[in-house]
Structure 1
Amino acid sequence: MQTNGKKVYAWEANTYKGKEWSKVRISKKNEAYHVFLVDFGKHTPKTLKAGDKGMIPGTLMPRGAAKQNLHGNFVMQN
């Protein structure tokens, strides 16, 4: 969806429609809840761009909250 330094905002592929994080996080439809912030740590991707698809091995952290429209965190496996 969008990169932010060593982090990437990722959205499940079947529901991603080219939206930007700045629009999704203020959406009244709780769309941010369906986004995950992926922390790549030292393994920063070099060529990721909006709309790219792929598998990301890692651990989902319990942060997301539908009522608060809060996205989840995803930590890469080393």
Structure 2
Amino acid sequence: MRICVFGTGAVGSHFAVRLALAGHDVSCVMRGPHLEAVRANGLTLRVGEAEFKAKVTASDDPADLGPQDVVISTLKATG
């Protein structure tokens, strides 16, 4: 399933890593330094002493990501 997380901060990143590790094709809409870091290194989720890493497709332009089956919006209310 193609899943896009729109607004990939703390909550969105958590969802993105878990979904990617479950075998879904995950893309993320994000911006700024976070976007560049994810493009270079993927996403890392730390839970206690455990660390989970996932490669996702990331862009600041949703049109770059193509059609999706599901879009999860995790924007702040002011966003």
TM class by shorter chain equals under 0.3
**TM-score scaled to structure 2, two decimals?**
0.25
Q: Which has the higher relative contact order, 1 or 2, with Cα contacts under 8 A spaced 6 or more apart? A: 2
Structure number with the higher strand fraction is 2
**TM-score scaled to structure 1, two decimals?**
0.25
Structure number with the higher helix fraction is 2
